[in-house]
Amino acid sequence: MKNKVTIISGCEHRKVDVYSKNYEPMARRLVHSIRNNGGKYKDVNIIMWYAKEHAPSAKTQAWLVDAGCTVVGGEPLGGGCEPVGNKIVAANTSVSTEYSLWMDSDMYVLNTLMFEALLDRTVDIAAVGPEYGFQRWAGPDYVSTWEKFYALAGVDVPSERFVGGLGADPCNFYFNSALVLFKNGRGFPEVWRDLAKAIRSSGIENCQHNFTQTSLTVAAVKTANTYEQLPATYNAYWAIVKEASLDAAILHYQTNEMAIRDRMGNNTRVKWNV
């Protein structure tokens, strides 16, 4: 299965602030979950990326290498983009596999069969849709803003509508950037990178709001022949759905705080001692 897909994530050591999290311990947990719950993809190639000024400790790098990862340092996205934009640089890492899968570091694979089903997909791009707070951003109040984003990219506004995680009325086409499966060789990561910078500096109203996700959505329309909205179970927020998220394919736990870890209890499938 190693020829099918490469998983890419981040392992930066950062001071926790409004723009960023410390991804170093999260990276180890993510790798641990893939190696234990990845099924036929448990030995998949994994690249852990970091901006050079935020390198993880030598101990963490050694742990990741021992777990079969390739640890790569590079330059940040720049262009006035916040650190979250570095995920786009990471997604541009050159690989030899047919697909790449970007995963946020603060995710944990739970359901083996559902994870295998994700990586078995053959569409050009698959990602989760607008979930929870992002659903408002995909709603009708922002139609004119989205029209400007698509005009900036030189593509037509898609007619598709997504169903958000809140189960309300269909939303405008919108991809969340927590998890992105994409076929290599179609120019998607390069277009995502360029559009992220262009949108972030465009001066369009709300251009700073979730710029990694607006640019992802527009880049998908610009480069993909086929794309799919994944169900919310692939991006299950612990902070929102609590224990129900542990029955999902992939947990998005979002924090290193002990309070969250303790509330999960000892009977879950999540093992935090990594």
Structure tokens at 273: 């001692």
In this prediction, residue 241 carries a pLDDT of 66
Residue 56 per-residue DSSP state = P
Q: Are strands 99-103 and 107-109 parallel, antiparallel or unpaired?
A: unpaired
Query: If you average pLDDT over each of 134-138, 154-158, 187-191, 205-209, which comes out highest?
Result: 187-191
DSSP 127-177: EE---THHHHHTSGGGHHHHHHHHHHHT-PPP--EE--TT--S-EES---T
Q: Residue 265's domain spans which residues?
A: 1-120+231-274
Do residue 59 and residue 191 come from a single domain? no
Each residue of 52-90: pLDDT tens digit?
999 999 999 999 999 999 999 999 998 778 888 999 999
Q: How confident is the model at residue 172 (pLDDT cuts 50, 70, 90)?
A: confident
Do residue 99 and residue 7 come from a single domain? yes
- Top pLDDT among 135 and 34 is at 34
Each residue of 211-225: pLDDT tens digit?
999 999 999 999 999
Torsion, CA 75, CA 80, CA 82, CA 87, rounded to 10: -40
Do residue 63 and residue 193 come from a single domain? no
151-165, 191-205, 235-249: least confident range: 235-249
182 falls within a domain: no
69 falls within a domain: yes
Do residue 221 and residue 235 come from a single domain? no
d(CA 195, CA 192): 5
In this prediction, residue 12 carries a pLDDT of 94
- Computed over every residue of the chain, the mean pLDDT equals 85
Burial 225-250 (b: 16+ CB within 10 A, else e): eebebbebbbbbbbebbeeebbebbb
Do residue 213 and residue 243 come from a single domain? no
46 falls within a domain: yes
Each residue of 103-147: pLDDT tens digit?
999 999 999 999 999 999 999 999 998 765 566 677 777 888 889
Q: Which is nearest to 118 in space by CA: 71, 178, 168? A: 178
3-7, 36-40, 75-79: least confident range: 75-79
180 falls within a domain: no
167 falls within a domain: yes
Q: What percent of the chain has pLDDT over 70?
A: 82
Do residue 103 and residue 236 come from a single domain? yes
In this prediction, residue 139 carries a pLDDT of 74
Domain of residue 106, CATH code? 3.90.550.10
> What count of Cα atoms within 13 Å lies in the side-chain half-sphere of residue 220?
27
Do residue 249 and residue 197 come from a single domain? no
217 falls within a domain: yes
Do residue 12 and residue 43 come from a single domain? yes
Do residue 27 and residue 57 come from a single domain? yes
Do residue 79 and residue 136 come from a single domain? no
Residues 6 or more apart whose CB falls under 8 angstroms from that of 248 comprise: 110, 111, 114, 232, 233, 234, 236
d(CA 102, CA 125): 11
Rounded average pLDDT over 241-269: 61
d(CA 63, CA 69): 9
In this prediction, residue 159 carries a pLDDT of 78
Do residue 78 and residue 192 come from a single domain? no
Q: How confident is the model at residue 160 (pLDDT cuts 50, 70, 90)?
A: confident
Do residue 114 and residue 244 come from a single domain? yes
22-26, 49-53, 65-69, 239-243: least confident range: 239-243
SS3 of residue 263 by DSSP = helix
18-22, 31-35, 166-170, 238-242: least confident range: 166-170
Rounded average pLDDT over 201-218: 89
Rounded average pLDDT over 196-201: 94
- Top pLDDT among 156 and 256 is at 156
Taking a C-beta distance cutoff of 8 angstroms, is the pair 194, 232 a contact?
Answer: no
In this prediction, residue 9 carries a pLDDT of 98
**Overall pTM surpassing 0.75 (yes/no):** yes
Look up residue 218 and give its amino acid. V
9-18, 100-109, 151-160, 241-250: least confident range: 241-250
262 falls within a domain: yes
In this prediction, residue 170 carries a pLDDT of 58
3-state SS record for 115-136 = HHHHHCCCCCEEEECCCCHHHH
SS3 of residue 249 by DSSP = coil
147 falls within a domain: yes
Sign of CA dihedral 47, 239, 196, 124: positive
d(CA 211, CA 144): 16
Domain count, the chain: 2
